[in-house]
Amino acid sequence: MAGQAGSRRLNRTKPTKRLSVGRLLLVVGLIAFVCGTGLVTGFVITALKQLDSPAFADLRPTVRLSSQVFDANGKLFAELFAEENRILVPLKKVPIHVRNAFLATEDATFYTHHGINPKAILRALYVILTGKGFQGGSTITQQLAKNAFLSPEVSLKRKVQEAFLAIEIERRYTKDEILEMYLNQIPFGNGAYGIQAAADTYFNKDVSQLTLAEGAFLAGIIQAPSAYDPYTRFSAAKQRQLTVLNQMVKFGFIQESEAKAAAAEELKIVKKKSFQQDRLGAYFYDYVLSYLLEKYGAEKTYNGGLKVYTTFDPAIQEKVDAAVKKVMDSAYPMKEGQPYPEAAVVVIDPHTGYIKAMLGGRTHTKLLGLNRALRPRQPGSAIKPIIDYAPAIELGYSPGNAIDDTPVTFPEYNNWSPSNYSHTYMGLVTLREALVRSLNVPAAKLLYQIGVKTGVDYAIKMGLTTLVTSPKNGHTDYVPSAALGGLTEGVTPLDMATAFGVLANKGIKNEPVAILKVLDADGNVLEEHVPKPKRVLSEQTAWTVTNMLEGVINLPYGTGTAANIGRPAAGKTGTTSDYRDAWFVGYTPDLVCSVWIGYDKDLTMEKDRVTGGTYPARIWRAIMSAIPAQRKDFPQPQGFIRVKICKKSGKLPGPFCPAEELTDEIFLKGREPTETCDVHVMALVCAENPSELAGPFCPTRVAKVFIRRPQAYDRSAGVPADASQELPAETCHIHTGAPSALPVPPALPTPEPSLGG
């Protein structure tokens, strides 16, 4: 009974209620919801905390802007960028049909939403959470947030951050401001970022000139720039353009007829732009880029949005390129695997120092590669006007001064003995003739007379920056051989143009200039060229040397007659003794042009005997003849007079000066000669032995005119062309005994007073 009673009590206990499946799911769901909400909330809070930094303070994209280089005409010459080629443009400059192409493709409801499209976001989240991949669903504002502020990772966290930033951007900016930032931010492939860079890269156009077809084409690229690369996958990009046009029709931006017309329009994709290829002004570009990198650094140069205004003249550069190609390709075709002579050219406006054109080689294949316009080479005789004649004229010499072209040795300079190109000597000549004929010995003597240091220092003042004045490997350029271009390192074509520019610009030097002004991205002036002309020669000296150098081109015995352009011009040839370098540097009243040719390697042009008067002079003539210019003379300053002189003495004609030795010469008033010629003398010679003076026993004596040299020379080293005119030093050795009836010697004739003019 007791057991039964206990059992009954047990049975009276309330039975346990079973939890139904539905309730179980509800409980689990509630728990999951609470936990999930907490997790999501924590996740969102964590994601948003990462946006709480100064980088997101104003939510305005910090973009890398390409720098722009403009030519002398203010036209865009080049763009500088490392990875992102981007040029900012205001929205008003982007045509409506181009804007609509992007709206139809990327965000048709852009002007109605508040930064995000909830339906698109939920759809994207569903795809991500179900592991079915990744879907965008981003509005234009979200894309701006992603490209401008977030990392490229693909994750739920980034989508949350993207949405938040989009809403905040919409709160701070107008729709037009957002669209402008977006169009300037998005990548288009091939280094083009933003709609302006894309228009220029693919169509060589300003964005304002884009057609509907071109705008739709660009709008299609941004979905996948590599998949729709116009250079490698044009067909795919073209197909994508049709999709964009259809979207524009779908959303009412254009009519179907407009879409068909745009689809049928031929797209002219331009070639990839690269200064690593041979193109107009590539070496000038290198010169400017080197300067910018050195002064501003790579980041600011490539990404700082600099605007660089230069002196580059594309029209002149075209003439330079064409002339070099015409002359050099004919003489020395470029054959792969075989060395060939190179060329360098610099054209400068001497009145400003502006570099108008620069060629550093016959081809340009490497960015910032070897620029021969800046590379020192031996100048040969091209240096003579700068280091010899200009300093001498400045110090009081005149073109009519005589100098003796006879053998000479300089004991204090290792017994150096210069020789002329022809290995002959002319004897007594004027400075004008010595320069026009490019005689080496008179140039060396002249430098020695004025002082080697004086000549070198003047050359430096005129613009030669590579002359060595402090011992370098035991050598300096303070040596007489510098008169002939025998230098430690040489000179550059740019420096030679600068130095000759002093002569062309009335004795005033202007430093060579390539950059006129640099602005930063905000339009602030970072630097601006301020002319600093400096007088280094008198105007009279500059004109005198110019007048002498005109003869190099115009006189029949000048070394640069191949450079004659039929209008006033002056210049000088230069050839090294081993034919490794050949130069012609010349100028008109408007421009200076320096031309050099030679091998890069240790080779010579001796086989063809290439001198400065051959190919360099022809290149110079081709360039200067092609540049439009008015015919005008070099303006002569006041103070000059013209005087008749004897060429052998540089003095007023004496009673015995032959007519053929007389010439009219210019002198700065006060420097004209006042003494008469003492070089031409008359003496009696034996009629039977006219090479010796008459002795007391010579039966017949005749009077003859001779020259009496100011100084003796070493006849064993060579005799000059006028040696036969020298006054004999010996008396007749034939007639040494007294004849039975010695005739009365004739008296020396009395000279006519008018003989000397």
Report the SS3 class of residue 307. Answer: strand
Distance, CA of 386 to CA of 286 (rounded, Å) = 28
Distance, CA of 372 to CA of 610 (rounded, Å) = 19
The string of pLDDT tens digits covering residues 513-560 is 999 999 999 999 999 999 999 999 999 999 999 999 999 999 999 999
| Residue 37, pLDDT above cutoff 60 | no
What average pLDDT does this structure show over 568-582? 96
What average pLDDT does this structure show over 210-222? 96
Q: What percent of the chain has pLDDT over 90?
A: 72
Look at the block and give the residue holding tokens 């592991």: 131
CA neighbor of 754 nearest in space, from 640, 669, 671, 644: 644
Report the SS3 class of residue 687. Answer: coil
| Residue 493, pLDDT above cutoff 50 | yes
Catalytic residue among 66, 381, 438, 594: 381
Predicted pLDDT of residue 385 = 98
With cut-offs at 50, 70 and 90, classify the pLDDT of residue 155.
low
The string of pLDDT tens digits covering residues 157-208 is 667 777 788 888 888 899 999 999 999 989 999 888 899 999 999 999 999 9
Catalytic annotation present for 7: no
Catalytic residue among 106, 342, 550, 692: 106
| Residue 9, pLDDT above cutoff 50 | no
How many CA atoms within 13 Å lie on the side-chain side of 118? 2
Residue 267 buriedness (CB in 10 A; 0-12 / 13-18 / 19+): middle
| Residue 143, pLDDT above cutoff 60 | yes
Q: What percent of the chain has pLDDT over 70?
A: 84
| Lookup: tokens for 739 | 């004849």
Q: Which CATH architecture has domain 88-262?
A: Orthogonal Bundle (1.10)
What average pLDDT does this structure show over 637-654? 97
Task: Give how far Cα 744 sits from Cα of 605, 628, 696, 747, Å.
Answer: 64, 73, 10, 9
Q: Which of 109-118, 509-518, 652-661 has the lowest mean pLDDT?
A: 109-118
Distance, CA of 77 to CA of 196 (rounded, Å) = 16
With cut-offs at 50, 70 and 90, classify the pLDDT of residue 602.
confident
Predicted pLDDT of residue 255 = 96
Distance, CA of 549 to CA of 560 (rounded, Å) = 9
Distance, CA of 485 to CA of 491 (rounded, Å) = 9
Residue spans of the domains in the chain: they are 88-262
Predicted pLDDT of residue 381 = 97
The string of pLDDT tens digits covering residues 376-410 is 999 999 999 999 999 999 999 999 999 999 999 99
Predicted pLDDT of residue 21 = 47
The string of pLDDT tens digits covering residues 722-742 is 999 999 999 999 998 765 544
Q: Which of 52-66, 134-148, 149-163 has the lowest mean pLDDT?
A: 52-66
The string of pLDDT tens digits covering residues 326-378 is 999 999 999 988 999 999 999 999 999 999 999 999 999 888 889 999 999 99
Catalytic annotation present for 381: yes
- Work out the angle between the directed axes of helices 234-250 and 96-106 (0-180°, nearest 10): 90
Predicted pLDDT of residue 171 = 87
* 109-120 burial code (b ≥16 CB/10 A, e <16): ebeebebbbeeb
* 332-341 burial code (b ≥16 CB/10 A, e <16): beeeeeeebb
Q: Write down the number of H helices and E strands in the chain.
A: 21, 20
Predicted pLDDT of residue 237 = 96
